[in-house]
């Protein structure tokens, strides 16, 4: 099972690397072809559509994965419900188009929402059979399916942006990706769903809580967009949205793919507490070693990173990147909890955690935005995330009968190493920008990024050795490195005969 999880995580990381490579190229080009207001306009429409999509966010695919032996009726019912809710959401999107334009004060929004709503309806016809890729942990097929969708959307977006330099390029790319997903789902998966509602009650017993969780996640993730867009306009929202995307790169690029791969593995070991507990410890340690330095590093190099990726007109987004990157570090440490709760069938616990986060977030936003403006919104996200993380660590350690000290054992070492790395990187950047010398952003990155990697790796190994070389992510990665080096030596014929 550990090997299957590792292979799945590798495929999902490869997929995310490919997606992010396309995404970075897209951002580098689009940020120069379009203006912040273009991104802000699309973000306004997507904020409302994301709310509408909650009407179909029951997570039926998660119910199919969590169930040990789903029948054909389960798949057919899930597909039927998917279409029914998708049609309802498309209609609601159309009805909300003009009220949304009034709310934000932008007359361009209705037509944008009409088109995006149609795209959502199209996507609802996607073949539910592709869930089998994850259920059977066939992540190479999952890679082919999702990667091709992303590549098509990227090609359409970039082509139209180069030709017309308009926000419609962003909209068209989304529609192309969703349409291609429907076609590919039937090409790559021979399963052919049929119209049925035979077991809808069985699916809803699990998925009703998923709807509540998604509703709470929407409030958590989108409330900042509504507040910033309403009070400060599309330019501020564009800066905040793009800054948030850059800040959360470690979470979206490292954590999300791994979590997507480990959930089926957790579901298979849910009946074996010892195996589930050990798998969780291995995964959480790996997430800490990989994601924490990435989040701390993004915060430390936010200035040159934004200037290099987006250009000087996005410099006001730097402060959002710095604050939200630290928020991402807390997400990195606990996002794997979601997969464990779902594997155990404790969807109500997930909803409770989400409710606590919202209860912390909204008051903080109201108070801090009053005194600090848009920056206060970012600080509110950081504070609410920290409070929720502390609570959930205690809850999960009790649920798994895993002592909190043992849970945190795999995280404190990368925290120390990442902090030392960020401090030294900041000092080096300060030295590079002192005096009369004008050091470009790209040059700064070319210097501090390699330094940061070396400092982090050296500090992590030093702390691990001082701690007595405990079994954890460091030892696992070291073993893999030794195995890879030995294999390389054999392939190159460096071994004695």
Q: Estimate to the nearest angstrom the gap between the alpha carbon of 248 and the chain centroid.
A: 7
Distance, in Å, from the CA atom of 452 to the CA atom of 304, rounded to the nearest integer, reads 14
494: pLDDT strictly greater than 70: no
Cβ atoms of 426 and 300 closer than 8 Å: yes
Cβ atoms of 276 and 343 closer than 8 Å: yes
355-375, pLDDT tens digit by residue? 999 999 999 988 898 888 888
Q: Estimate to the nearest angstrom the gap between the alpha carbon of 303 and the chain centroid.
A: 22
344: pLDDT strictly greater than 60: yes
Distance, in Å, from the CA atom of 157 to the CA atom of 321, rounded to the nearest integer, reads 25
Confidence band for 497, pLDDT divided at 50, 70 and 90:
very low
What is the mean pLDDT of the segment spanning 475-489?
Answer: 74
From residue 14, how far is each of 111, 139, 254, 290, 293 by CA, in Å? Answer: 36, 10, 10, 15, 19
Output the pLDDT for position 363: 92
6-35, pLDDT tens digit by residue? 666 666 667 666 666 666 666 667 767 777
More confident call, 422 vs 40: 422
76: pLDDT strictly greater than 50: yes
Q: Estimate to the nearest angstrom the gap between the alpha carbon of 174 and the chain centroid.
A: 17
495: pLDDT strictly greater than 70: no
Cβ atoms of 346 and 292 closer than 8 Å: no
Output the pLDDT for position 134: 80
For residue 125 the two structure tokens come to 């016809």
411: pLDDT strictly greater than 90: no
Site of tokens 């039937």 = 186
More confident call, 189 vs 263: 189
- pLDDT over 90, % of the chain: 17
Query: Nearest to residue 345, comparing CAs of 399, 270, 284, 261?
Result: 270
Cβ atoms of 309 and 27 closer than 8 Å: yes
86-112, pLDDT tens digit by residue? 888 888 888 989 998 888 888 888 988
When the pLDDT of each residue in the chain is averaged and rounded to a whole number, the result is 82
Distance, in Å, from the CA atom of 293 to the CA atom of 281, rounded to the nearest integer, reads 19
Distance, in Å, from the CA atom of 63 to the CA atom of 85, rounded to the nearest integer, reads 16
202: pLDDT strictly greater than 60: yes
1: pLDDT strictly greater than 60: no
Burial 27-62 (b: 16+ CB within 10 A, else e): beebbeebbbebbbbbbbbbbbbbbbbbebbbbbbb
From residue 413, how far is each of 107, 285, 337 by CA, in Å? Answer: 52, 10, 20
Site of tokens 């991402």 = 328
Output the pLDDT for position 490: 73
127: left (phi over 0), alpha (psi -120 to 50) or beta: beta
479's CB contacts (< 8 A; 6+ apart) are: none
Q: Could you give the dihedral angle defined by the CA atoms of residues 443, 448, 453 and 457, in that order, rounded to the nearest 10 degrees? A: 160
More confident call, 43 vs 370: 370
From residue 422, how far is each of 252, 307, 325, 398, 441 by CA, in Å? Answer: 20, 19, 12, 33, 17
**Lowest pLDDT segment from 39-53, 170-184, 314-328:** 39-53
Distance, in Å, from the CA atom of 110 to the CA atom of 101, rounded to the nearest integer, reads 6
Instruction: State which H helix or E strand residue 406 sits in.
Output: helix 404-409
From residue 310, how far is each of 156, 300, 477 by CA, in Å? Answer: 20, 17, 34
Output the pLDDT for position 184: 93
Confidence band for 384, pLDDT divided at 50, 70 and 90:
very high
252-300, pLDDT tens digit by residue? 777 777 777 787 778 778 778 888 888 888 888 888 888 889 899 999 9
186: pLDDT strictly greater than 90: yes
The angle that helices 109-123 and 168-188 make with each other, rounded to 10 degrees, is: 10
More confident call, 197 vs 233: 197
The highest-confidence range among 7-21, 126-140, 323-337, 413-427, by mean pLDDT, is 413-427
DSSP, res 492? T
Query: Nearest to residue 16, comparing CAs of 251, 257, 177?
Result: 257
Confidence band for 185, pLDDT divided at 50, 70 and 90:
very high
For residue 478 the two structure tokens come to 């070291």
CB neighbourhood size of 162 (10 A): 12
């Amino acid at each position: 099972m550990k090997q299957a999880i590792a292979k799945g995580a590798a495929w999902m990381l490869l997929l995310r690397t490919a997606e992010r490579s396309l995404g970075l190229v897209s951002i580098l080009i689009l940020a120069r072809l379009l203006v912040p207001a273009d991104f802000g306009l699309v973000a306004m429409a997507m904020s409302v559509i994301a709310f509408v999509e909650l009407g179909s966010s029951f997570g039926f695919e998660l119910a199919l994965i969590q169930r040990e032996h789903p029948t054909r009726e389960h798949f057919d019912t899930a597909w039927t419900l998917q279409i029914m809710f998708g049609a309802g959401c498309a209609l609601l999107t159309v009805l909300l188009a003009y009220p949304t334009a009034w709310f934000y004060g932008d007359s361009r929004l209705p037509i944008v929402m009409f088109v995006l709503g149609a795209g959502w309806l199209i996507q609802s016809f996607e073949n539910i059979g592709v869930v089998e890729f994850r259920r059977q942990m066939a992540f190479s097929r999952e890679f082919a399916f999702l990667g091709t969708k992303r590549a098509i959307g990227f090609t359409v977006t970039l082509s139209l942006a180069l030709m017309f330099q308009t926000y419609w390029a962003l909209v068209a790319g989304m529609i192309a990706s969703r349409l291609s997903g429907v076609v590919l789902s039937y090409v790559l998966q021979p399963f052919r769903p049929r119209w049925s509602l035979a077991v809808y009650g069985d699916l809803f017993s699990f998925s009703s809580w998923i709807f509540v969780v998604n509703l709470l996640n929407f409030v958590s993730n989108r409330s900042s967009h509504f507040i910033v867009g309403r009070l400060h306009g599309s330019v501020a929202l564009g800066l905040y949205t793009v800054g948030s995307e850059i800040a959360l790169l470690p979470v979206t690029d490292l954590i999300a793919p791994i979590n997507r791969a480990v959930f089926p593995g957790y579901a298979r070991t849910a009946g074996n507490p010892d195996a589930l507990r050990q798998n969780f410890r291995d995964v959480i340690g790996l997430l800490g070693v990989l994601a924490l330095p990435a989040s701390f590093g993004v915060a430390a190099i936010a200035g040159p990173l934004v200037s290099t990726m987006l250009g000087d007109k996005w410099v006001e987004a730097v402060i959002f990147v710095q604050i939200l990157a630290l928020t991402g570090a807390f997400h990195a440490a606990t996002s794997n909890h979601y997969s464990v709760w779902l594997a155990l069938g404790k969807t109500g616990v997930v909803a409770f955690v989400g409710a606590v986060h919202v209860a912390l977030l909204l008051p903080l936003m109201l108070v801090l935005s009053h005194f600090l403006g848009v920056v206060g919104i970012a600080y509110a996200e950081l504070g609410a995330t920290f409070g929720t993380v502390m609570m959930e660590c205690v809850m999960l350690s009790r649920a798994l009968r895993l002592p909190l000290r043992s849970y945190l054992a795999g995280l404190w070492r990368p925290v120390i190493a990442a902090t030392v790395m960020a401090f030294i990187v900041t000092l080096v950047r300060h030295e590079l920008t002192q005096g009369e010398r004008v050091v470009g952003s790209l040059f700064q990155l070319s210097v501090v990024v390699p330094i940061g990697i070396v400092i982090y790796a050296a500090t992590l190994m030093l702390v691990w050795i001082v701690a007595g070389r405990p079994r954890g992510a460091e030892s696992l990665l070291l073993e893999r490195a030794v195995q890879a080096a030995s294999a390389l030596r054999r392939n190159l014929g460096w071994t004695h005969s």
